[in-house]
Chains A and B, each alone.
Chain A
Amino acid sequence: MAENNYEPTIVAFTCTWCTYLAADLAGTSRMSYPANLRIVRAMCSGRIDPQFVLTAFQWGADGVLIGGCHPGDCHYQEGNYKALRRFKLLKKLAAELGIEDERLRLEWISASEADRFRDVVNEMVEDLRRLGPRSGVGEAKPVSASAAEEAIHA
């Protein structure tokens, strides 16, 4: 794919009480941000199973954004802390699996922070455009042993 035509796809998992409302407010306030985002609403950032994130990548997402309430503001009291713990571990795993830092992001965005939502999306789209398409994870390319041998001798 030609680098200049590349448009990243970002899947955003947003909690229904804060970040989803921020996205809604950004819309009703006529704010504009790139159309690279696909929003999936979850009841709580604590509901976002790491399997969702990996599946989003599996289905071709270039980046995943998780949005939740600010610490202390969770509608379910502690769900966002649970999200934070999972995120930190997931981030480490993702790095080991070859998923770059910019592709996975957690942000606390309250219902009134539409401008912050817009800024985060803009920033992430820019980061991913710069980074280019995701590649390398598990690409199955049977190559003959002689080719590998040549590579060693080269």
Chain B
Amino acid sequence: MPKPKVGLYWCASCGGCEEAVVDLAEKILDVVAAVDIVFWPVALDFKKEDVEALSDGEMTAAFINGAVRLSEQEEMVHLLRRKAQYVIAFGSCAHLGGIPGLANLTDRQSIFQYAYRDAPTVVPDDGIVPRQQVTVPQGDLKLPEFWERVRALDQVIDVDYYLPGCPPTPTVIANALTALLEGKLPEKGAVLAGTRALCYECDRAATKPEKGCTLSEIKRPWEIIADPEKCLLAQGILCLGPVTRGGCDAVCVKGNMPCTGCFGPLDRVRDFGAKGLSAIASLLDSNDEAEIERLVNSIPDVAGVLYRYSLPASVLFKSAQTKGDAP
């Protein structure tokens, strides 16, 4: 039997997802032995033409990481969708929009203005801005279009499975690959990680505050030296473990850092940020309006905390991107 063909591609992302594949360490040799990698721009010298040369559906799976920001990315994911039987959104950015998705809080013009004019490291009068097309003696040079909005992968193409995480952990990746190779994939649309909240697999769960309010001060991780045994929420550090999908084995919390929600929402949650908001608000230790306001105002950048990985997939932004789906 011929080996299944697999492709990997990155869109708007930091490169961490590619690194995560390399982090499979010795297991990557098993992967290489089991599959035929036909496209992986970051590591292997295949070109777009090589993918175009494949017949439709010839690739078993395309692992795509990163959000969709540029016209080039949009074109490539459409191409990969055509060539692959399964498209797997790899990592938070492809799954929910990820960190690049926070750019949706502003617009493209402001981004360009800051990046090429106002940022402290930019020499303002050098006149250099990226142009979509430039003519040089050798011919025309073209850059992809920079869309107004960042989108999660499933807002652009049909996605079969999701591998959450920023980046997905080696265990999550290895499990997904095994399921794929053994043909034991779950129902289409599934997120290939845990089905319970992170707290269930956290070693500190026993010290988690269960009843009543507890947060009388909200501290940022650098403000205190956290007790490595005790629930971070009980110590006043905002940890999104109660509302985040498990499956990562609580790696951040083991490193004494709070969960920031990269595995995204649990199955029946419509909006990760709203659910996280509920969880945090329920913990604020006060019934007094002024005191509640003081606590709330001590959280800088609420949208950044609650939608760090999921702004394009949040109900408000998603609705604007897929208008007409609401009843």
Query: Which A residues are within 8 Å of any B CB, using their own CB?
Result: 49-51, 53-55, 57-60, 71, 78, 81-82, 84-86, 88-90, 92-93, 96-97, 137-146, 148-149, 151-153
**What are 19 inter-chain pairs, A to B, with CB distance below 8 A?**
A49-B274, A50-B274, A51-B269, A51-B275, A51-B315, A55-B315, A57-B315, A58-B318, A85-B284, A89-B277, A93-B306, A137-B320, A140-B151, A142-B148, A143-B148, A145-B132, A146-B132, A149-B131, A152-B117
| Residue B296 is within 8 A (CB to CB) of chain A in the complex | yes
Q: B112's contact among A49, A93, A141, A149, by CB below 8 Å, is which?
A: A149
B interface, size bucket: 35 or more
Interfacial chain B residues near A137, Cβ < 8 Å:
316-317, 320
- A153–B275 alpha-carbon span in the complex (Å): 42
Query: Interface residues of A: mostly helix, strand, loop or mixed?
Result: helix
Interfacial chain B residues near A145, Cβ < 8 Å:
130-132, 143-146
| Residue B44 is within 8 A (CB to CB) of chain A in the complex | no
A48 to chain B, nearest CB (A): 10
Q: Do A54 and B314 form a contact, CB below 8 Å, given A139-B320, A142-B147?
A: yes
Do B287 and A78 have beta carbons less than 8 Å apart? yes
Q: Do A148 and B131 form a contact, CB below 8 Å, given A82-B281, A88-B281, A93-B277?
A: no
Do B297 and A92 have beta carbons less than 8 Å apart? yes
Q: A152's contact among B129, B269, B274, B280, by CB below 8 Å, is which?
A: B129
Q: Do A57 and B316 form a contact, CB below 8 Å, given A51-B271, A86-B277?
A: yes
User: Which of these binds chain A: B32-40, B58-66, B103-111, B200-208?
Assistant: B103-111
Q: Do A86 and B281 form a contact, CB below 8 Å, given A51-B274, A93-B302, A149-B132?
A: yes
A141 to chain B, nearest CB (A): 5
Residue-wise interface mask of B (87-121) relative to A, using a CB-CB cutoff of 8 A (1 in contact, 0 not): 00000000000000000110011001100110000
A131 to chain B, nearest CB (A): 17
- A52–B269 alpha-carbon span in the complex (Å): 11
Q: Do A146 and B113 form a contact, CB below 8 Å, given A49-B274, A86-B281?
A: no
- A55–B315 alpha-carbon span in the complex (Å): 7
Q: B287's contact among A71, A139, A140, by CB below 8 Å, is which?
A: A71
Do A51 and B270 have beta carbons less than 8 Å apart? yes
B232 to chain A, nearest CB (A): 18
Residue of B nearest to A83 (CB): B281
- A98–B164 alpha-carbon span in the complex (Å): 28
Interfacial chain A residues near B278, Cβ < 8 Å:
49-51, 86
- A123–B327 alpha-carbon span in the complex (Å): 28
Do A148 and B270 have beta carbons less than 8 Å apart? no
Interfacial chain A residues near B269, Cβ < 8 Å:
51
B121 to chain A, nearest CB (A): 17
- A92–B289 alpha-carbon span in the complex (Å): 14
